[in-house]
Amino acid sequence: MGRVTTPTTLLADAARLQPDLVSLRRTLHAAPEVGLQLPRTQATVLEALAGLGLEVSTGPADSATTGVVAVLRGGAVPPGGERPAVLLRGDMDALPVVEANDLPYASTNGAMHACGHDLHVAGLVGAARLLAEHREELAGDVVLMFQPGEEGFGGAKIMVDEGVLGASGAHPVAAYGVHVAPGPRGVFSTRPGPLMAGSNQLHITVHGAGGHGSRPYVALDPVPALAEVVTALHTMVTRRFDVHDPVVLSVTQLSAGEALNVIPPSATLGATVRTLSAASVERLRVETARVAQGIASAHGCTAEVSFDVQYPVTVNDAGAAATALDVVNGLLGEGRGTVMTDPLMGSEDFSFVLERVPGAFLFLGASPDGVDPATAAWNHSPLVLFDDAVLGDQAAALAAMALHHLAR
């Protein structure tokens, strides 16, 4: 039967892998790539997975991404003959942020792993290596999903549409992902139900009639109308939506005209809107249009409104979230897995996986020594710092979640 994995043996194996995982993470950090096409990152991942006996695919020939899907076949015979599968995911893309940290492996190419995806990749490679060493205990298969394009490109949806959920031949029975963030190093946290907000995009264009800046009375100036729309939208959120089902609306773009002495014929705003329920999304479609069109009409103008869903709400399966915390506390010790009180209003495209597979997404505190998590630079900052000392625990936790579902 071979060696049976225990928390002690799994952690010892992870500690042995730690130096290689740190080296991999720093290689990725020094050469980040943005978006859906990450050829150098993909090549690095393929090299890191070589020799593990995995079924590796880079997707269909016409794939929109440079994703990597690797299937690890367990060596044990499952009861009943059907082979269940567990999916583990790590996102690979960076951000168009110029790094401001003085690190020997800092990026110098104008992009930055400012959201810690380099750690996600290295941690998932570590989980793959651990599971490959213990494959004889797996009465099923593990799908390893290395995903580009999380930062606004919907890479998870593309990979789902291209068939990642069927990569092993069976729909996964569970899916897990881990995301690093400033916080006490090595502490995992999650919660059942909504974990992260859905992300939506709002665009409004007010159409009027242009004219000379000295003669506004013979034009229909869209600029003051749009200015009223901005303040009305923020008021609308506080008055039309339940505080217990929160909505965050932030107008982040305004555009109107080019010449100082010309009243433009139109003015445009863009906003990001975060939601925690499908009901809020549908109501926002109605309310944002009502506000914009009503104010525009009061000024003699018209309004064109576009409300688009980018990422759905990230919703953890209650059972999977409890399992993940039980696994973490059983592996690393009580207190290493904690329950979050409130969801976060940031967004995550692992939501496209969790819409179809019961699973859980967890955060992992990774603040270095000497950095106060309460005041640390946050994800997406050019100054954010993550301690890659967490990689062994991250890899062991992901492997343990798969082992929990598939152990003989």
Rounded to whole angstroms, the Cα distance separating 282 from 286 reads 7
Same domain, 101 and 159: yes
For residue 3, pLDDT over 90 is answered with no
The pLDDT tens digits for 74-92 are 998 887 778 999 999 999 9
More confident residue, 359 or 278: 359
Same domain, 351 and 255: no
Same domain, 262 and 236: yes
Same domain, 45 and 102: yes
Could you write out the three-class secondary structure of 14-49? HHHHHHHHHHHHHHHHHCCCECCCCHHHHHHHHHHH
Report yes or no on 2 lying in a domain: no
CA neighbor of 165 nearest in space, from 358, 320, 401, 360: 358
Rounded to whole angstroms, the Cα distance separating 368 from 332 reads 19
Same domain, 260 and 395: no
* CATH number of 152's domain: 3.40.630.10
Please state the domain count of the chain.
2
Rounded to whole angstroms, the Cα distance separating 203 from 272 reads 9
174 by Cβ neighbours in 10 Å (0-12 / 13-18 / 19+) ranks as: buried
Same domain, 258 and 370: no
Quote the domain boundaries for residue 339: 7-195+314-406
Same domain, 27 and 174: yes
pLDDT of residue 1: 41
Same domain, 240 and 166: no
pLDDT more than 90, % of the chain: 95
Same domain, 211 and 188: no
User: How confident is the model over 286-313, as a mean pLDDT?
Assistant: 97
Total Cβ atoms within 10 A of residue 258: 7
The pLDDT tens digits for 207-245 are 999 999 999 999 999 999 999 999 999 999 999 999 999
pLDDT of residue 201: 97
More confident residue, 5 or 4: 5
pLDDT of residue 408: 67
User: How confident is the model over 372-396, as a mean pLDDT?
Assistant: 97
Same domain, 183 and 43: yes
Q: Helices 117-133 and 39-49, interaxial angle, to 10°?
A: 20
Same domain, 186 and 272: no
pLDDT of residue 347: 95
Same domain, 126 and 249: no
